[in-house]
């Protein structure tokens, strides 16, 4: 079996490396050459998108948003035109579920199966292969591809038909964003009240308020570390998709809209490439204090 992997960014590069480590024959492609060279050094093969479509049984994408996935798969001389009937496309990008369904429908006309399989966990879990996959698609295609996804993730769950994976991811991103905002507010309150944020974190992380988000992001806020594991601009993209989907189906999402405004403020104040935990800097701007410092 030969696998094609398109998109070697913060998440895609370590994910692809884990497939190579697992022994899969991998062809890789990226807009910039440096990650490709790094994967080739690990044992992968550099290829054009056309070559990937012609040669691979499974094609995977890990790119920013719906337009990029559509261009790669459905564009003029796109990968989808090169793939053989019976081959499988797995999109691990986080995009609008409506777009996932549109892409699957077009590929289906050519006899190509699709899974939408966005991930959660950020760069650290991409590196150590413990991502969570939320998958949409036919049960038999999911069963066939699950062992491959398990080389990159500790949790691989089918959530329904195509589009269900990205719907689940939108729910995930709403919860993560609102958690980070609440954490930033809480640590700002403690510091303004004269209580050390690190001690607050130590005291509550094992209780009901504790979460994976808190464990990952509180230390970053306290240290002033905004190196991106997941960029604010990417979370803006996800919440835009969440708001669009919510408006389409008539779901109320007022908390999502509020945290989106804070992320947009960060974007316009040169924070778009920072980690989403840098939401704390919005509160630092309002209060004049720095959490933990």
Q: Are 142 and 207 in contact (CB under 8 A)?
A: no
Alpha-carbon radius of gyration of the chain? 20
> Annotated catalytic residue: which of 169, 217, 237, 274?
169
Pick from 23, 38, 13: nearest CA to 92: 13
**Active site (annotated) includes residue 151:** no
Q: Give helix 164-192 / helix 97-108 axis angle, nearest 10°.
A: 160
User: CA 217 to CA 209: how far, in whole Å?
Assistant: 13
Tokens of 128: 């150590």
Separation between Cα atoms, residue 258 and residue 178, nearest integer Å: 9
Q: Rounded distance, CA 228 to CA 108, Å?
A: 36
Positions marked catalytic:
169
């Amino acid at each position: 079996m030969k696998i094609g992997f398109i998109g070697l960014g913060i998440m895609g590069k370590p994910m692809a490396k884990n497939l190579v480590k697992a022994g899969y024959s991998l062809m890789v492609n990226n807009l910039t050459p440096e990650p490709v060279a790094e994967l080739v050094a690990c044992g992968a093969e550099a290829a054009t998108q056309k070559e990937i479509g012609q040669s691979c049984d499974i094609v995977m994408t890990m790119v920013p948003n719906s337009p990029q996935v559509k261009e790669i798969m459905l564009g003029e001389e796109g990968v989808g035109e090169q793939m053989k009937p019976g081959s499988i496309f797995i999109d691990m990008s986080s995009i609008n579920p409506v777009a996932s369904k549109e892409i699957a429908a077009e590929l289906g006309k050519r006899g190509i199966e699709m899974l939408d399989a966005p991930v959660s966990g950020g760069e650290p879990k991409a590196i150590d292969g413990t991502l969570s996959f939320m998958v949409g698609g036919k049960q038999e295609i999911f069963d066939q591809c699950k062992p491959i996804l398990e080389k990159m993730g500790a949790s691989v769950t089918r959530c329904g038909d195509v589009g269900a994976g990205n719907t689940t991811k939108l729910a995930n991103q709403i919860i993560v964003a609102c958690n980070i905002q609440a954490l930033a507010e809480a640590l700002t309150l403690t510091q303004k009240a004269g209580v050390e944020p690190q001690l607050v974190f130590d005291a509550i992380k094992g209780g009901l308020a504790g979460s994976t988000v808190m464990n990952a992001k509180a230390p970053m806020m306290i240290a002033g570390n905004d190196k991106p594991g997941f960029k604010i601009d990417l979370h803006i993209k996800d919440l835009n998709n969440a708001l669009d989907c919510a408006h389409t189906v008539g779901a109320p999402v007022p908390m999502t809209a509020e945290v989106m405004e804070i992320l947009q403020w960060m974007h316009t104040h040169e924070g778009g490439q920072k980690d989403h935990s840098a939401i704390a800097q919005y509160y630092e701007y309002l209060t004049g204090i720095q959490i933990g410092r």
